[in-house]
Chains A and B, each alone.
Chain A
Amino acid sequence: MQNLNRRQFLAASAATAFGFSLKAATSTARGLKIARTNQVHSVCPYCAVGCGVVIHTSGENVRNVRPYVVHIEGDADSPINRGTLCSKGISLKEFVVNDRRLTKPLYRAAGASEWTEISWEDAIAKAARKIKDTRDKGFVEKDAQGRIVNRLDTLGMIGGCTDTNEINYLLGKFRFGLGILPYENQARL
């Protein structure tokens, strides 16, 4: 625009005054933000329907990139939801990319009011210790009539709705191994 000569200036003035546009007609669409993303198939973590989701992460698997989540939407190949998602599922990106998302185990000691971060090793060790102590204290070998029952009534187990058959098989073995009777899964919550 700085190098406008008189003739060009007059042409531009006339075009502006009479309402002609010098620009070519716009018919292009906006750029697609998932045009070059990597797609990871996963399962929505919320309810027991278990809808398939596609997580779009930034493209180009080059050395200097740490991939980030671009978009999450329903998986068109999933026979469960065929690309659809509910209002909660479609907001999944806000769950994955969130400052308040828990990424480390938190521990609140008995009587304490604050949660403290602990390592996974400590968390698993603490959980194992509690399970062992509870089992040692509450294990019932024989019932009132003297029949062998080998059960544990003081522990319960709860499963997640996105667990696969394989995880559920292992959870079942774990439960029977300990003798736990009360169990529930998230499908009914």
Chain B
Amino acid sequence: MTTVAKLIDTTLCIGCKACEVACQEWNEQEFTLGVFANTYQTLPDLAPNFWNLIKFNEEYKDGAQAWLMAKYQCMHCAEPGCLKACPSPGAIVQLPNGIVDFHQDNCIGCGYCITGCPFDVPRLSPTTKKVYKCSLCSDRVGAGLTPACIRTCPTNCLTFGARADLVQIANQRAVELKADGHKDAGVYDGPGVGGTNVIYVLKHASTPESYGLPKDPTIPWTVALWKGPLKWVANAAFIGTAVGAMLHYLKFGPKEVHGDKAD
């Protein structure tokens, strides 16, 4: 199956927030009132009922101000940290088309996926005790439709398609930006997690932190250790205990009670 992806050309984003609203409309999430903190960032963070946020990063350089818009949502990693950390089978699935989807019916609300995510995306709902995040509209994509955010984007900042095609388009766009004088332009593709199915074109590719993106996203070593070597150590200890108990029984027989029975 073709791996699908989302391309975000941050240089074309005008901060209209249509993708935010489209996401909430399609997923039937309640609107929440924003805050005013002397910036355009009226909605400060992702929430269990808000899966897609435009970050209005401000840049001040040579006395001029510029926006470094960044769309912030699940990156649909090739090697998802959330999936690695999840102890509940079927709660987090990686579909054949590359979408990482959460199935809340199977979620036990432990929140390990939040620890495992290198991009800090999943959010635990205090009311339902389940974790929620962007599904890349797996229902729409499964039916041959475009994800809601990409469909509505009025400036062509977002593109949906086969991952291989979008990587080409992104690289081409970076070349164009360089020719336009943006020397630092480049593509951000989550190198530490085997590539992400959300690809960014950035004006400042050497400093993705200025967009609020981690420079070197990796799955936390605690999760890697716990779900890697430690898992096998624990399995060995578990089986060893059972085998040891059996051997003990074979050698020494059942427990004998000595002395006063009242003890």
Q: Write the residues of chain A forming the contact surface with B, with a CB cutoff of 8 angstroms.
A: 17-18, 21, 23, 25-27, 29-33, 35, 71-74, 81, 83-87, 89-91, 93-94
Contacts and interface: CB of A to CB of B under 8 A. Distances in A.
Contacts of A29: 95, 101, 138-139, 141-143
Contacts of B31: 94
A39 to B, nearest CB: 13
A32 B143 contact: yes
A26 B151 contact: no
Contacts of A87: 16-18, 20-21
Contact of B152 (A23, A73, A93): A73
B152 A84 contact: yes
Contacts of A31: 139
Nearest to B95: A27
B213 interface: no
Contacts, number: 77
Given A74-B151, A85-B18, A90-B152, A26 B143 contact: no
A74 B152 contact: yes
Contacts of B89: 21, 23
Q: How large is the interface on B (under 10, 10 to 19, 20 to 34, 35 or more residues)?
A: 20 to 34
Dominant secondary structure of chain A at its interface with chain B: loop
Q: Which of A17, A26, A27, A71 has the most CB of B within 10 A?
A: A26
A85 B152 contact: yes
Contacts of A30: 101, 135, 138-139, 142
Contacts of B25: 71-73, 90-91, 93-94
Given A30-B138, A90-B18, A90-B25, A81 B143 contact: no
Contacts of A18: 235
B103 interface: yes
28 contacts: A17-B238, A26-B93, A26-B103, A27-B96, A29-B139, A29-B141, A29-B142, A30-B135, A30-B138, A30-B139, A31-B139, A32-B139, A33-B139, A71-B25, A72-B25, A73-B22, A73-B26, A73-B148, A83-B146, A84-B151, A84-B152, A84-B153, A86-B154, A87-B16, A87-B18, A90-B25, A94-B25, A94-B31
B90 interface: yes
Contacts of A85: 18, 22, 152, 154
A98 B18 CA distance: 20
A91 to B, nearest CB: 5
B242 to A, nearest CB: 9
B140 interface: yes
Interface string B29-63: 00100000000000000000000000000000000
CB-based closest 3 A-B pairs: A29-B142, A21-B89, A30-B139
B238 to A, nearest CB: 8
A81 B156 CA distance: 11
